[in-house]
Amino acid sequence: MNILFITNYLKKYGIGHLKRCNKLAKKITKNNKIFFLVDKIDKNLSKLIIKNSTVLVKKDIFNSSDKIIKILKKLKNPVVVIDSYLSNLNFEKKILSYSKKLIVIDDLKKKHFCDIYINPNYLNFKFASNIKANTKLLGPKFAFIDSNIKNKNNKKIKSNSIKNVLVFMGATDSKNLSLKIYNAIKDKKITKPNFNFIIGYNNNSLKNILKKNKLKNIDFKIFSKDFMRYLSKADMFISAGGSSIWESIFLNKKTLIFNHSWKQLENSFNLEKQGVIKVFKKNFKSKNISDFLITEIDSGNKYILKHNNLVDSKGIDRIVKKIISISERK
């Protein structure tokens, strides 16, 4: 069976969509041929895509349905998986006619037209009545967490103190939040705990800081496939609220969210109501950021035991099982 993943990389939104598709592709590759259709690719992004897949590049994908249909015909009506904020109803209706099955992954509340609709983010599903899909896979039960990640060593909190903090504001960090957090730590002279900043490929402002940094409790690393290893070792995770938030919750990490996009706000506030994350709500002045960090570091990680039952590592397996089951129907 041919499976085509249609996704894109936008500096404004980062690589979360590509990462989700890749995680799903890894699980569904057995006995299937995997194709990726993206709007751009470079050496760094290509490293994130699974080996033995075919990568096709087309600019302005979601305004080029005629060109996409030609690709679908060549692939003999493949199963199509779309993960992009740019997808729309008209595009999906055209694609559906030339697909064996159409799967749409989304973490917003947009209208869609497909066979399987996947949205892991929301805890309230009333909006889903507007989604035209035969099958709807909703909520954290279908979160895109790599099943290779184990949290058994993280369920028992060895210490209440925060000793290691991981900061990752997305691969693009379009609002330069990493730099603002770094400056807040420097200005307030926060010498404990240790902070590890993961820098996106295109975050040139932080790369320049990296060369000049003299703070002994701050380290910088370029984003890579080792991200989960760094997250596993951290006591606290500071994020922009993207897809990595679920991995942090699964691993029982104290999680602080600095939202840079309105698209993630509702999910962040819903999770905060559940008591599993803390959301920064003030403007991004240095003092506000440092006060927030100090308060949360000093309070330790007492609350994170609430994480345990919200999400597991079987979400992708559940999705794959459903896709294969539905795709094999005549």
Residue 249 lies in a domain: yes
pLDDT band, residue 152 (cuts 50/70/90) = very low
Render the burial of 312-330: b for 16+ CB within 10 Å, e for the rest.
Answer: bbebbeebbebbeebbeee
Are residues 277 and 319 both part of a single domain?
A: no
Distance (Å, whole) CA 102 – CA 93: 10
High-pLDDT (> 90) share of the chain, %: 43
DSSP state of 95: H
Query: Residue 266 has which token pair?
Result: 């509702």
Could you report the per-residue pLDDT of 169-218, keeping only the tens digit for each? 887 777 888 889 999 999 999 999 999 998 876 666 666 677 677 788 99
- Residue 252 confidence (pLDDT): 86
Query: What CATH number corresponds to the domain at position 286?
Result: 3.40.50.2000
CB neighbour list of residue 309: distance below 8 Å, 6 or more residues apart: none
Query: Residue 83 has which token pair?
Result: 């993960």
SS3 content of the chain, % helix, strand, coil (to 5): 40, 20, 40
- Residue 156 confidence (pLDDT): 47
Distance (Å, whole) CA 293 – CA 287: 10
Query: Residue 311 has which token pair?
Result: 């999400």
Could you report the per-residue pLDDT of 49-73, keeping only the tens digit for each? 888 888 888 888 888 888 899 999 9
- Residue 179 confidence (pLDDT): 87
Element (H, E) at 241: none
Residue 153 lies in a domain: no
Q: Which residue has the tokens 């033995």?
A: 52
Q: Which residue has the tokens 């003999």?
A: 76
Q: Alpha helix locations (H) across 97-236?
A: 177-188, 204-212, 227-233
Element (H, E) at 163: none
Are residues 132 and 172 both part of a single domain?
A: no
Could you report the per-residue pLDDT of 65-107, keeping only the tens digit for each? 888 999 999 999 999 999 998 899 999 999 999 999 999 999 8
Residue 157 lies in a domain: no
Are residues 138 and 227 both part of a single domain?
A: no
Query: Residue 26 has which token pair?
Result: 């890894």
Cβ atoms of 293 and 185 closer than 8 Å: yes
- Residue 150 confidence (pLDDT): 64
Query: What CATH number corresponds to the domain at position 55?
Result: 3.40.50.11190
- Residue 201 confidence (pLDDT): 66
Could you report the per-residue pLDDT of 248-300, keeping only the tens digit for each? 988 888 999 997 666 677 788 888 888 888 999 989 999 999 999 999 999 88
Distance (Å, whole) CA 186 – CA 176: 16
Are residues 180 and 112 both part of a single domain?
A: no
DSSP state of 30: T
- Residue 322 confidence (pLDDT): 95
- Residue 97 confidence (pLDDT): 92
Distance (Å, whole) CA 102 – CA 268: 28
Cβ atoms of 5 and 21 closer than 8 Å: yes
Are residues 174 and 297 both part of a single domain?
A: yes
